[in-house]
Structure 1
């Protein structure tokens, strides 16, 4: 497996705070245990004039660009709420950041498993020599995809963005405040059941530029239960053992994370970390990494959702 030098992540949230209890009081009623099952008490939305690309730029601008700008020759952007249908936000972001025209630019239309799958793509891009240093950006504004009264989705999602700088070699002149690691992907696995796409999807909508989000939460939960044990076994077979892995799991809801914890033999409640900011789609794992100590020697990623898909990876990690 090739080694990657990873810097960050940096993250950004929507500026408008949403109190979930107040949202439910306004548009309910709901079951008494609703918030216990979802797990989220606070969410964040963007104003109407702020796009997913604006959030992406905000996350990038938090990293001083004096040390990485000249090194970056690749940009991979993951989103399902791009400003335009085509081109996607990666190309618009390349112009917005004034990156050189030789930059390898790629848009990935993905969601909840987007970070795990995009990391595999970036690894392949670097290994193939298409780029040496890649900005891996994830950004979405899901709160624009539904009305607040749609309680199957509105108490779950926040608008968020994240960025990692991923390189095939160590970068120089890295500021002291930037978190840096050496990564080696030692296991990865992916599952898709496109026949269940309608259970969690964004469809065209005359009233919303980015479309309309619909979700059958029970079907998504059943999909995860149907596949998670097989995915974990596949990662075990590749990595040899998962005993020392520190896990970062997509924060779909407390209920689904609890189900994953049981399969991983993790302490109940230990992997649900997003009560204060909600489900930020493909940025879910980077948000957790931003809050982590970064000292773990082996980390694992599990994402699941839109597709329906599930993806996992195990990474050896060394802080540098």
Structure 2
């Protein structure tokens, strides 16, 4: 049995959400002045019109702090008894210490909590939710703060039009608490296809990735065509399995909230899944691909537009470099 794709009784509920994006905008028209591209070309191929860019002295931990402040402002929550902190990011301020450990200090959280960063690229936020549910349902913890945040503008080559048109900066935070009477989580699935890692990477210490020589170091490198195919095929293959294991069908889903990498990926996947694009939440149009932050940004946007309602069934799907994928089916309880 594949236990990562099994309906398991949950005792965890999402109780609050907050988001943050920097004030600086980088529009498609700005990019026209930087690389050989155009607004029409970018919109047609990605659905992105603009993205937010962190200031020179603004880093991932700073975005996380602001997202948590936004959560506190809009929800009656207390963080004094948070006992675990998960930060999903691929662009930490520093490799060591973790963003999570820095946030413990910046947010004045209890020193008794566990704090980790997880690196699951654009699937990181959903992976974080999956872990939070497991930690709480197992009885090990009772209140987990999950944050997805990235500042890809710090590592993007703005002379490479294949990547610089895509990425923006942002953060989203949710609070997951013990509640066995009204849990959020229904079913989850996670997959990894490590052989595809060479198609999207940011080189660090190693000179090789798998058995391939790394030619480019110090910037994001992406084979867009291969990532497109991997993303569509993964969603089309894995989502029906998830729904079957949950004992539900896609017609039961009120909103599909996938990673907002590229609207064309989502259109292709939804076409093959026979799911209406009108019930897809996409944060990429005005925020770009914010990696681990796209899904919480889309969730908050859906709430503000009065689309997402309490009790709605949501399908969250993250996918990205690795090639990693994580989907979770939840009942919205915020």
The two structures share one fold, judged by TM-score above 0.5: yes
Residue aligned with 1:91, SS = helix
The answer as to whether partners of 2:81 and 2:110 remain within 8 angstroms in 1 is no
Aligned residues: 305
Aligned to 1:299: 314
From the superposition, tell whether residues 23 and 70 of structure 1 become closer, same or farther in structure 2 (CA, over 3 Å).
same
Superposition pairs of residues 1-320 of structure 1, within 5 angstroms: 1-29=9-37, 33-64=41-72, 67-169=77-179, 182-204=182-204, 211-240=218-247, 241-245=249-253, 246-268=255-277, 270-271=279-280, 273-274=282-283, 275-292=285-302, 293=306, 294-295=308-309, 296-318=311-333
Question: Greater CA deviation, 145-154 or 159-168?
Answer: 145-154
C-alpha RMSD over aligned residues: 2.3
Q: Flag the 1:136–1:237 CA change in 2: closer, same or farther, 3 A.
A: same
Shift of 1:230: 1.7
1:298, distance to aligned residue in structure 2 (A) = 1.1
Shift of 1:226: 2.8
| Aligned mates of 2:16, 2:39 — CA distance in 1 | 39
Mapped to 2, the partners of 1:269 and 1:315 lie a distance apart of: 19
| 1:6 to 1:31, Cα distance in 2 relative to 1, 3 A | closer
Q: Is the 8 A contact 1:251 1:279 kept in 2?
A: yes
Cα deviation for residue 31 of structure 1 reads 10
The CA distance in 2 between the partners of 1:160 and 1:255, in whole Å, is 21
Using the size of structure 1 for normalisation, the TM-score is 0.88
Deviation at 1:269, TM superposition (A): 5.8
Q: Which has the higher strand share?
A: 1
Paired with 1:310 and 1:267, the residues of 2 have a C-alpha distance of: 22
User: CA separation in 1, counterparts of 2:201 and 2:126?
Assistant: 19
- Matches of 2:263 and 2:144 in 1, distance apart? 33
Q: 1:88 Cα deviation (Å)? A: 1.3
1:96 Cα offset (Å): 1.4
Of the structure 1 ranges 62-71 and 137-146, higher mean CA displacement relative to structure 2 is found in 62-71
CA distance in 2, matches of 1:258, 1:7: 31
- Shift, 1:33, TM fit: 3.7
Alignment gaps of 5+ in structure 1: 171-180
Q: Which runs of 4+ in 1 moved over 4 A?
A: 29-32
Distance (whole Å) between structure 2 residues aligned to residue 25 and residue 270 of structure 1 = 35
1:153 alignment partner, SS class: helix
Q: Which has the higher helix share?
A: 2
Counterparts of 2:17 and 2:222, CA distance in 1: 29
